[in-house]
Structure 1
């Protein structure tokens, strides 16, 4: 009778539910919200001027580059979709590089990301604080201390939210993504209405779009680089692949829904800006969407600054969610302290990983000048994208029998690898700077940590006592399938 009870399907199902592991709680719509939320930040509202400026104010070239940048981002996301469905684990690029190219390149990635990604979150939090406080001070600048305190409060609020509940974090992401898309829709629809209205001054800039001065090859490349930067974040879904419901179906479907939607919105919004403002006005404007609103909907122009704050908040929530999964995956592989791979016993969320990444971001906020250093690590993001797509190619030949529910057309990852290494070398060749050399040295500095602590497995006993104490304090436990806790 005891055996029959233990094999009862209800009991088996109950046991599966109580497993200490990340739960598959993220559906297709949630995934779309996270991708769109990661891509669409303040840039499209505030300063979509980089592409137009480097296109020498040539409207046709600028719109072509916005389209081409979106298509490259879509190709990259399709490569990631194959890796995400074949290897549905947390950690995004880190997990794929580790599987395809080995432990050392993966460690270099997480070493660099531990520095750059929290700094990016700190920058977002400070920008949110800027837009949230400025309306109360009019033309006077808001106090720096106030902005830093608000930025810290936002960081830790989102850190706690993501550590307490995946469902709540996904709900917040969905709400803020819908709000920012509503704001973009106002701009897009407003532009279409004015364009269809047929006033000569609105149509003039589109009658001979390629008629003005044409940029040279290096200027086009720089404009292209700016466009790709605006689409940054398309890779975010792979960080949460382990938590996606039915990843074989939902990862490709989510990618093919979210990225084309962003491409369409970016094009419509840029067309709307060009309908209302001249290219010179766009390039010289501090906040293009605010200038647009003052012209088109002056009575409710306050909606746009509010929308910028909403957009930044949503992008920050998405980034913190994915960064927690990166730290969690790195710890599971032994590349970060073991505590970071543990899950909260009540919520099955990677709470220590979120505390770790939020703490580093907070350190960047206090002396915010440090954030400027991360501008020189831009090349590293594309280096890792290139390595990830190279991992896809390697796995195609090394593991041909690996189950791949979705397969991208093989030339696509080759194009992405070539594109990535061009984007790595371009800023260094065009504008050489010692800071790039320092950034490269920082990446190589990972070897100083990797060799003793990962390769030779150097271990200090007192770390076990600290881990045990923090494990009890935070009420966390190793995920099922990982090494047993030192406290047990």
Structure 2
């Protein structure tokens, strides 16, 4: 990894400090969070306790993630700048759809995801001190806010620290999941295959239930544990501007990490089912802890520790991406200008990280994880479909763009079709008012866009506030040093 440059190296800008190994570990950490420790029960529940159907759904979720990754790899290598989907949608479909994405992701989806990760981290770290009873809500909230603040500060100080932490947690996470997977293989070899006899003999889920089962599975692949916006397989695109040789490393890193994750998820699910019955798996609030109590009672404490470390790694990666999204949105004029400034010493988007941290802290509230997963996924797949439509539009509108990596175009149409199914299936067969509320919130962003972005309505004294914050936070616009050199 390159040494952290300073402003004297030629201007204030995000630097290329992330290589192939670090990029693979980063995605791996973002994906492997709490999802694999929680989603198996929900997937099996919506699969009507049908073991065969649930395992097929896990495998198909992996394939969908890989096809989505291939589409995002083309966009990331064609436009290697931080900001992800916001930048792609704005270029292909215009500023209003891009702002709707930005509004939904920055104000609602990703801060809430980070909050739930923090609450789950607090749950797993505090629960051992309260054996046999629920941990106090107040203490859990304080711990959740504390971990959000710690991660926010780290992201403000150094990109190198973030990458080092991700690499360390990746190794620890791999070790714990490898142990679970290996125990499952041993159990199968010992003949513990009862739950796999007549695997497809359970109930048959309807279309709506299949869609909701995919919501749960895709959240786990998305890199968020109980409630994840599906960003795991596109997380690398948010830091494309900081990756060495992006045209080569982005597609290699995404495909390597996604294939590894798919194998791990299938093995871990099989391991759970060698020890627990489908009903036990569904009824367990923390399936990995229940599995450990049965499998390794003396060393069962290792699992909560592993889960906490896993959550922390995902929380760190999620905060990193949210800060980059806010930074990119501000550079395009869709958020206040202070958010697009970088710290003059650390060269990190400190204001973007600070606002992300504040919003996430505000969101520290208890939630129904499964329900929120479904509602977030509904919004998520609308945005994923929009992004892949952007890829298709750009292929026809700008065919001569230099594309270091090009996905087989029918794959993009497949992802759009999958997105449409995952959005429409739960609504058509089992409509819920919450889906309408989600749509209403998304399109309410237009009420903000028209006056403040389109007509550029100025808030009184905003320039003075920006100047004061710039001095207080020691941040600078990214082009100030280049302008000075030009003069």
Could you say what secondary structure the match of 2:233 adopts?
coil
**1:277 aligned onto 2:269:** no
CA deviation after TM superposition for structure 1 residue 287, in Å: 1.8
Moved more, 105-114 or 277-286: 277-286
- TM-score normalised according to structure 2 size: 0.91
What is the CA deviation profile of residues 27-46 of structure 1, one whole-angstrom value per residue up to 9, with x for unaligned ones? 11221122122222223123
1:170 is aligned to 163
Equivalent-residue separation in structure 2 for 1:222 and 1:473 (angstroms): 47
2:82 is aligned to 90
**1:220 aligned onto 2:219:** no
Unaligned runs of 5+ in 2: 223-231
Equivalent positions of 1:284-299 (< 5 A) are 284-299=283-298
2:118 is aligned to 125
Equivalent-residue separation in structure 2 for 1:461 and 1:218 (angstroms): 49
Moved more, 349-358 or 122-131: 122-131
C-alpha spacing 1:14/1:479, structure 2 compared with 1 (3 Å): closer
Alignment equivalent of 1:34, drawn from 7, 26, 35? 26
Could you say what secondary structure the match of 1:397 adopts?
helix
**1:19 aligned onto 2:35:** no
1:100 is aligned to 92
Could you say what secondary structure the match of 1:110 adopts?
helix
**1:154 aligned onto 2:171:** no
Equivalent positions of 1:53-452 (< 5 A) are 53-115=45-107, 116-197=109-190, 199=191, 202-232=192-222, 233-365=232-364, 367-368=365-366, 376-452=375-451
Moved more, 420-429 or 108-117: 420-429
Equivalent-residue separation in structure 1 for 2:276 and 2:342 (angstroms): 51
How many residues in Structure 1 have an aligned counterpart in Structure 2?
470
- TM-score normalised according to structure 1 size: 0.91
Contact 1:97–1:388 (8 Å) recurs in 2: yes
What is the CA deviation profile of residues 298-328 of structure 1, one whole-angstrom value per residue up to 9, with x for unaligned ones? 2111111111111111110000000000000
Equivalent-residue separation in structure 1 for 2:123 and 2:42 (angstroms): 22
RMSD: 2.3
Unaligned runs of 5+ in 1: 1-12
Contact 2:219–2:377 (8 Å) recurs in 1: no
Could you say what secondary structure the match of 1:235 adopts?
helix
What is the CA deviation profile of residues 360-408 of structure 1, one whole-angstrom value per residue up to 9, with x for unaligned ones? 111111x556998786343111111001000100111111111111111
CA deviation after TM superposition for structure 1 residue 280, in Å: 2.0
Contact 2:121–2:312 (8 Å) recurs in 1: yes
1:10 is aligned to none
